[in-house]
Amino acid sequence: MKLKLYIDPDIVAMMAAEVAAGELAVTAAMREAGTGLKTAWRTQITGAGLGRRLANSIRNQNFPRSGESLDAAALVWSQAPVIVGAHDTGPLIRSKNGFWLAIPLPAAGKSLRGGAGSRPANGSAAVASACASSIAARDRAFWWRKDG
């Protein structure tokens, strides 16, 4: 007596198809997770008012770069890690050469060169008077005394 067993469809082909489907699913999930994390991080940065340029420093890379794999991965990083880290940890901010750290607000007005705001480092009399009026008004700028 002879016994023959035929499996239709082929198990090896079925398993190869399942592995290919798994590779496709894992790779697609990692690409979506990496893109979602990058988008969420960029949204948090712009929502905190830190600007579009800092938000655009967030990058992501998917591995493998082409094709599919069961070991797919996504790497999300910042090209400005010191700046992002400073806003994350909240380090002490000090002035370099002065006794006071001046942070002019929009009410202090524009600088003579059309910049965003007055800066004492410009050395111009108009900027110095704007900062002096800011001190007098106390609603135009915040001033912190430098420690040590």
What whole-number distance in Å separates Cα of residue 148 and Cα of residue 146? Answer: 7
DSSP string of 20-32, one letter each residue: HHHHHHHHHHHHH
> Residue 111: pLDDT above 80?
no
Position 69 in a domain: yes
Beta strand pairing call for 100-104 and 73-78 = unpaired
Domains in the chain, number: 2
Determine the structural domain holding residue 21 and report its residue range.
11-89
What pLDDT shows up at residue 143? 46
55 and 123 part of one domain: no
- Who has greater pLDDT, 98 or 145? 98
- Does residue 6 lie in a domain region? no
* Rg (the chain; Cα; Å): 29
pLDDT of 57 > 50? The answer is yes
Would 47 be classed as within a structural domain?
Answer: yes
Query: Based on the domain organization, do 60 and 111 belong to the same domain?
Result: no
pLDDT tens-digit profile of 64-90?
Answer: 999 999 999 999 999 999 888 888 787
Q: Are residues 15 and 85 in the same domain?
A: yes
Whether residues 58 and 110 fall in one domain: no
Q: Nearest Cα to 79, choosing from 41, 27, 30, 48?
A: 41
Q: Per-residue pLDDT tens for 114-145?
A: 655 445 554 444 444 444 444 444 444 444 44
pLDDT over 90, % of the chain: 45
Whether residues 28 and 57 share a domain: the answer is: yes
If asked whether residues 80 and 135 sit together in one domain, one would say no
What percentage of the chain exceeds 70 in pLDDT?
A: 74
Regarding whether 52 and 118 lie in a shared domain, the answer is: no
Listed range (1-5, 84-88, 93-97, 110-114) with the worst mean pLDDT: 110-114
**Does 121 lie in the same domain as 53?**
no
> Are residues 107 and 52 part of one domain?
no
